[in-house]
Structure 1
Amino acid sequence: MDTADTRQLADASAVPGFAVFDTALGVCGIAWGPRGLVGVQLPQDDPTLQPALRRMRQRFPELPEAEPNAEARRAIAAVQALLEGAQDDLRDIVLDMRGLSDFHRRVYELARRIPPGQTRTYGEIAEELGDKTLARAVGQAMGLNPFAPVVPCHRVLAAGNKPGGFSAGGGALTKLRMLDIEGARPNGMASLF
């Protein structure tokens, strides 16, 4: 294969797009570009195919539905495995955070360091940022997380290890279910499932 063919293959793998895929929790979505994932979505209240496609088209109107490139396929497999109980922190998945504020990028980078089965609070993340008064802002950043569960906002809890909010379908119950799948037991609570 000559250099032109190799370059064409590299360019083809960089073609942006989105796809939906099945998981243990329902249909998730993923969007990618030449610099990594630009978004991931957890199932909503109706975890079937059509609502997931509709939401991805609304969220990424500039991207076509497409066959995932190699990196997107690897990310899909990792998310599927995580939602089945794999202990992968997904930190090797490349995210394109160019459109995000510096604060959100810092919050998401700290959240990505939380291993499966463990949790932190909004306040603990705020302290890691150097200002414990930022706990509410951390919670808001988690609510706007465009990469769940690759950025594991489900592992970040409210004060007292209470679930707090969760923007995926099912809200806090889905958050607790995801923590249960990972074997996390905030405050030593027994499984709800």
Structure 2
Amino acid sequence: MFSTPVGWLGLVGGPRGLVDIQMHTTREAVSDSVNLRFPLAHEELSGVLVDARTQLLEYFAGKRERFNLPLDWRRLSDFQRRVLRHLQQLPFAELTTYGEMARQVGAPRAARAIGAVMAVNPFVIVVPCHRVLGRGGRMTGYSGGAGIASKQWLLDFERRSLRNDGDNQ
């Protein structure tokens, strides 16, 4: 677990890659959430978790725009995987809407289903669900950290980073 400008992050990894990222406002909340979801997890920073922590810290330092991590998609449905893999391709600081995402993944009437996928995204920040907005660009739900405030912080941070240094990774 480690602290970031938007709260504490807890990483869970396995033999196939990163399994989950928990984001909460306190270390205790991250610990409780990880222990509830992954009772056999233990605090050990090795392998993919070292890479994930490094890349996330680079992101928050304004030195990384894309993540290069193995993600373990097995806990997700086919639809969830399709949506989140598509979202991974969204460029740094670019925004989309639930409706646009639905059309892009071939499910034009599934904007609410897209929202439901965003709500259970196990790879917050790495798979940038914070870049998905409601109809008309409205700021809508975000389940990580401090909710909408965390989403707004991430969007503002990405815009500032893009303005300040256009040649991040």
TM-score normalised over the length of structure 2: 0.88
Residue 110 (str. 1) matches residue 89 (str. 2): no
Amino acid at match of 2:38: F
Corresponding letter in the other structure for 1:81: E
Pairwise CA RMSD of aligned residues? Answer: 1.5
Alignment-mate amino acid for residue 118 of structure 1? E
CA distance in 2, matches of 1:120, 1:144: 18
Question: Which of 11, 14, 21 is matched with 1:33 structurally?
Answer: 14
Residue matched to 1:78: 55
Partners of 1:70 and 1:62 in 2: how far apart? 17
- Unaligned segments of structure 2, at least 5 residues: 161-169
Partner secondary structure for residue 37 of structure 1: strand
Q: Distance in 1 between matches of 2:60 and 2:142?
A: 16
1:100 is paired with a residue of what secondary structure? coil
TM-score normalised to structure 1 length:
0.78
- In the TM superposition, 1:3-152 aligns within 5 A as 20-42=1-23, 44=24, 47-66=25-44, 68-90=45-67, 92-152=68-128
Which amino acid in structure 2 is aligned with residue 173 of structure 1? Answer: A
Larger Rg belongs to: 1
Runs of at least 4 residues of structure 1 off by over 6 A? Answer: none
Verify: 1:166 aligned to 2:142, yes or no. Answer: yes
| Alpha-carbon contact 2:16-2:71 (below 8 Å) kept | yes
Q: Distance in 1 between matches of 2:30 and 2:126?
A: 18
Looking at structure 2, the residues matched to 50 and 172 of structure 1 have their Cα atoms a distance apart, in angstroms, of 21
In the other structure, the counterpart of 2:165 is none
How big is the shift at 1:126?
0.6
Query: Contact 1:31 / 1:37 at 8 angstroms: preserved in 2?
Result: yes
Secondary structure of residue in 1 paired with 2:109: helix
Partner Cα separation in structure 1 for residue 7 and residue 123 of structure 2:
16
Partner of 1:77, secondary structure, is helix
Higher relative contact order (CA 8 A, sep 6+): 2
Following superposition, the deviation at residue 134 of structure 1 comes to 0.9
Paired residue for 1:10? Answer: none
Paired residues in the alignment total 160
State the shift of 1:74 in Å.
1.2
| Alignment check: 8 A CA contact 1:78 1:88 kept | no
Distance 2:128 2:62 in 1: 14
Over 3 Å counting, the alpha-carbon distance change for 1:93 and 1:26 in structure 2 is same
Q: Retained in 2: the 8 A contact 1:25–1:83?
A: no
Letter in 1 for 2:16: R
